[in-house]
Amino acid sequence: MKILLLGKNGQVGWELQRSLAPLGELIALDRAGKDGLCGDLTDLEGLRRTISIVKPNIIINAAAYTAVDNAENDKVNTNIVNAQAPRVLAEEALKVGAWLVHYSTDYVFDGSGNNAWKEKDEPNPLNEYGRSKLEGERAIENSGCKYLIFRTSWVFGSRGKNFAKTMLQLASSRQVLSVINDQIGAPTSAALIADCTAHAVRQAFSNPNLSGIYHLVASGQTTWYEYTKFIINQAQALGKDLVTVEIKPITTAEYPTPAVRPHNSRLNTTKFCNSFGLFLPEWQQGVSRMLYDTINN
């Protein structure tokens, strides 16, 4: 099996380099590309050329424009990376008969209600990032290629920037942290996403009926505030010296950001678990591992 991985150095891309390695020949690219192959998602012709040269069995796109607030004022680039590039990848996947694996987000939903969103629920993104990711999903769905789209949320990993690491840094210098307590979701480790991707890809490769959109997040739910309390407690238990003495819950309205965020980011993972026969551990497990790795290195 020949796999082309794009975005190899993002949080998920980094873990995919590990989890995909046993599946076959892995050609992993970052934005700079290598050996004449293009990994830059803004170079649409370069992507087409690369796929026609490599002729992969599976294309895995872990690259994306993920700066949610910047996206509000950078619509053109956001759209090229998150919508036009996935469309091109899907068209080229169809030509060479490859599967396309792609990641999307809880931000395709508007966060209303209290139920966990199912794959068939109507998307209604609140911000540019969400709109561009939804356009990317639809381009893939309409392309006719075989695909797996995994919608995930609140991603963290040992490599790269994320909320957990930011909180750990702030807790080293601030006595009081104010954290949003009215957005609910599931922190999901890049390692879990990568491992589940490798298992799912193996099954899908021999069963085209598995082509589709899936929600892939860790089990359980929390708010950013409760998540922060967990991070601080765990870090202190691991011997990390922190100065924070108080964590204050605040509302989304008290912390305005350029991009509007959904309140309810719960994703229902029943379809993923049933289709692939896989189990999704509670979010705390991945966070504890990441903190251990971060603090002990």
Ligand X SMILES: NC(=O)c1ccc[n+]([C@@H]2O[C@H](COP(=O)([O-])OP(=O)(O)OC[C@H]3O[C@@H](n4cnc5c(N)ncnc54)[C@H](OP(=O)(O)O)[C@@H]3O)[C@@H](O)[C@H]2O)c1
Name the site residues for ligand X (rule: CB under 6 A): 7, 9-13, 31, 39-42, 62-66, 81, 103, 105, 133, 152-155, 160, 190
153 vs 221 by CB, closer to ligand X? 153
Sequence letter at residue 249: P
Least gap, CB of 103 to ligand X (angstroms): 4
Please identify which residue in the block is written with the tokens 């006719």.
144
Least gap, CB of 76 to ligand X (angstroms): 12
Least gap, CB of 152 to ligand X (angstroms): 5
* 215 CB-near residues (< 8 Å, 6+ apart): 117, 118, 119, 150, 151, 152, 267, 268, 269, 271, 272
16 vs 247 by CB, closer to ligand X? 16
87 vs 242 by CB, closer to ligand X? 87
Beta-bridged to residue 6, according to DSSP, are 29, 61
Least gap, CB of 241 to ligand X (angstroms): 27
Least gap, CB of 177 to ligand X (angstroms): 19
Query: Active-site residue 107, yes or no?
Result: no
81 DSSP assignment: I
Pick the catalytic residue from 65, 103, 107, 129: 129
Q: Coil, helix or strand for 157?
A: coil
181 vs 197 by CB, closer to ligand X? 197
102: number of CA atoms within 13 Å, CB side? 32
**Distance (Å, rounded) from C-alpha 106 to C-alpha 264?**
9
173 vs 282 by CB, closer to ligand X? 282
**Distance (Å, rounded) from C-alpha 279 to C-alpha 6?**
26
What 3 state SS string does 111-129 have?
CCCCCCECCCCCCCCCCHH
Tokens of 42: 């803004």
**Distance (Å, rounded) from C-alpha 78 to C-alpha 81?**
5
Q: Which residues are catalytic?
A: 129
